[in-house]
Amino acid sequence: MAKPRPQETAEADMTPMIDMTFQLIAFFMVLINFTEADQNQAINLPSSELAKTPDFPPEGPITLQVEKNGNVLYGVQTARDPRLKDLEGMLKKEYTVRKSMGKEPKASTVIIRGDKHAKTGRIQEVVGVAQNVGYEKFILRAKEVAR
């Protein structure tokens, strides 16, 4: 009778799995930092019990930030004109760029982050300018207050 061979145990090399995990962690950390880059920390959002975190990210976001002095920030550009003609020009240019890229600009969401000391009328003017350009979806940001 033949002697039975000893059983060999197979061990998986976990190094590639661990390496891939760390790469994914680094990727998501960079991604999170880019989404927070749109937010100017000088804008002090109002608090609201009705505010809630959205269930899904907005489509084609355009972030406008209204400072307490009424200036409107769009990316690195600042609209200082009291009648918001320069903001209108910026939004028209963005509308044209999105259209030339084959995207539907009306599907974009305009996110307005207004300082809690900014005048409500100024926020309404910003919404009106964006509507005149052709944008239809809006989100007003506020700090979520725990109940």
Flag whether 60 is in a domain: yes
CB 64 within 8 A of CB 111: yes
DSSP for 85-129 reads HHHHHHHHHHHHHHHHTT--GGG-EEEEEE-TTS-HHHHHHHHHH
Query: pLDDT (tens digit, 9 = 90+) per residue, 68-105?
Result: 999 999 988 888 888 899 999 999 999 999 999 998 98
73 phi and psi angles, rounded to 5 deg: -100, 130
Q: Which structural domain, as residue segments, surrounds residue 55?
A: 47-144
Say which CATH number the domain at 69 has.
Answer: 3.30.420.270
Flag whether 138 is in a domain: yes
* Alpha carbons 144 and 21: distance in angstroms, whole number: 32
pLDDT of residue 40: 65
Flag whether 132 is in a domain: yes
Q: What is the model's pTM? A: 0.68
